[in-house]
Amino acid sequence: MVLSLLNSTQLAIIKNTELLAFHQDATIGTPAAPFQATASAPTTSPPEYYSGTSSKGTHVFIINTSSSTAAKIFTLSSVPGLGTSGTWKVHDMWTGTDLSGTYAATANFSISVSAHDTVAYLLTKVS
- 66-85 pLDDT per residue, tens: 999 999 999 999 999 999 99
Give the number of other Cβ atoms within 10 Å of residue 9's Cβ.
7
- 1-55 pLDDT per residue, tens: 687 899 998 888 889 999 999 989 989 888 999 999 998 888 889 999 999 999 9
| Cβ burial 68-103 (10 Å sphere, 16+ → b, else e) | eebebebbbbbbeebeeebebbbbebeeeeeeeebb
Give the number of other Cβ atoms within 10 Å of residue 39's Cβ.
8
Could you tell me the pTM of the whole model?
Answer: 0.91
Q: Letter for the amino acid at 85?
A: S
CA 98 to chain centre: 13
